[in-house]
Amino acid sequence: MVVGDASLDIDVLVIGAGPGGYVAAIRAAQLGKSVLIVDKSEWGGVCLNRGCIPSKALISAAHQYEAAQHSEVMGVSVENVKLDYAKTQEWKASVVKKLTSGVAGLLKGNKVQMFQGEVMFINENEARVFNEQEAPRYRFKHCIIATGSRPIELKPFPFGGRILSSTEALELKEIPKSMVVIGGGYIGIELGQTFAKFGTKVTVLEGSDTVLPGFEKEMSRLVAKNLSKLNVEVFTEALAQSSEQTENDVTVTFTVKGEEKKVTADYVLVTVGRRPNTDGELGLDLINVKLTDRGLIEVDEQGRTSIPHIFAIGDIVPGLALAHKASYEGKVAAEAIAGQPSVVDYKAIPAVVFSDPEIASVGLNETEAKEKGMNVSVGKFPYAANGRALSLNATEGFVKIVANKDTGLVVGSQIVGPEASNLIAEIGLAIEMGATLEDIALTIHAHPTLGEIVAEAAEGALGHPIHMLGK
């Protein structure tokens, strides 16, 4: 307890314990700072508790369930495949618990003070942290705001009852018979495809002319093909208008190119993006932290806000809302606070969708490279010509590498296919270290592996593909 309400002193106050906040807190502590981290809910934030990790656990379970039903081509037949979804949810929860407990252990091990509660700024150098039991006041030398984001709620589709955000969808106790997904971005497609594999009749409504509009169409096309195989009905250029709930279902009215349609399902899942958590009782307006029109906090290349000793990272600053971007920014901010010359460099931040097949990209795509006036060299190699992919019976997809033809420097890659999320790391490293196509092609890749596809794509871009006829 605080005697006389005097302020306690701390070097760094971190607000939010998600992948940005907890990483920033640990790094600051490693650099000799006294650190207090505050979160109003769980250690690990949305990512570990209600986003990345639980969703990938369900995705993995759905893959297993589907594989058990369709492995006859390899001579493996399984009869009466059953899904115990309660046990699936139990397993998912155990994965989450292991990771969140691990985060708490890492914070304690690095001597970071932890407080479960909320924060309210008193002024630029002091804040009240509080919960139902106590409300100490802290004076800080630096602060890192990492409060994350929350699902965007559409006025005609308020969350509650049979209208779900991703949070509620991940906690469903039973597999629904039918579901409408509003939004065909990465969250909508990942969860929609997962429930479809579990047996749900899924309808996707997407406003643009393709699902996964943030990726090249030759990538999203393969995902759309697999959605069709799962009997997922996809409406593009669709605008959701209204909903009507009953005790047993919900009906969505939407338009496609001006034509009105209706679809009734057990649930509606709304996945149209996320809103930064910069409003509420934190008191950013009180200390005049500068925000953009979208409610994001303006920061410099070290994460510093308009108040020099206050930093912001993750979903509340401009750029992609990615957990790994938040962690990266957290380390940069902590090192800047410690006086190191760290700055952000976003040229090699990968984006991944755990769809089926997986898609991943890093750096520039072919169009972006050409728009920058670059003389472009492109290499593309199919999974279907790779021995490991054939032995896995997973031949859909390709690896595409984009390079500067004049220098040979690798500038980007797009991958669609099994393990794309892992394969993209090699290209990210290549871009980060300034590697050339020749560097990748001359790196001996183990055989038989999916990683060979990366080397084959590099050889293709150099003009001498081995396992594919050149143009």
- Please identify every residue annotated as catalytic: 447
Calculate the CA 255 to chain-centre distance: 29
Binding residue per annotation — 148?
Answer: yes
Binding residue per annotation — 147?
Answer: yes
Q: Are 60 and 37 in contact (CB under 8 A)?
A: no
Binding residue per annotation — 183?
Answer: yes
Binding residue per annotation — 315?
Answer: yes
Binding residue per annotation — 186?
Answer: yes
Q: Are 48 and 71 in contact (CB under 8 A)?
A: no
Binding residue per annotation — 207?
Answer: no
- φ, ψ of residue 195 to 5 degrees: the values are -65, -35
Binding residue per annotation — 190?
Answer: yes
Specify whether the backbone of 242 is left (phi greater than 0), alpha (psi in -120 to 50) or beta: beta
Binding residue per annotation — 295?
Answer: no
Binding residue per annotation — 412?
Answer: no
3-state SS, 377-415, equals EEEEEEHHHCHHHHHCCCCCCEEEEEEECCCCEEEEEEE
Strand partners, 297: 291
Burial class (CB in 10 A: 0-12, 13-18, 19+), 296: middle
Q: Are 241 and 255 in contact (CB under 8 A)?
A: yes
Going 103 to 109 to 112 to 114, the CA torsion angle's sign is positive
Tokens standing for residue 251: 């009906």
Nearest alpha carbon to residue 278 among 257, 305, 238, 308: 305
Q: Are 62 and 200 in contact (CB under 8 A)?
A: no
Binding residue per annotation — 192?
Answer: no
Radius of gyration of the chain (CA): 24
Burial class (CB in 10 A: 0-12, 13-18, 19+), 209: exposed
Q: Are 399 and 454 in contact (CB under 8 A)?
A: yes
Binding residue per annotation — 124?
Answer: no
Question: What does the DSSP 8-state code read for residue 269?
Answer: E
Binding residue per annotation — 273?
Answer: yes
Binding residue per annotation — 188?
Answer: yes
Annotated binding residues for FAD, as ranges? Answer: 56, 147-149, 315
Annotated binding residues, as ranges? Answer: 56, 147-149, 183-190, 206, 273, 315
Annotated binding residues for NAD(+), as ranges? Answer: 183-190, 206, 273
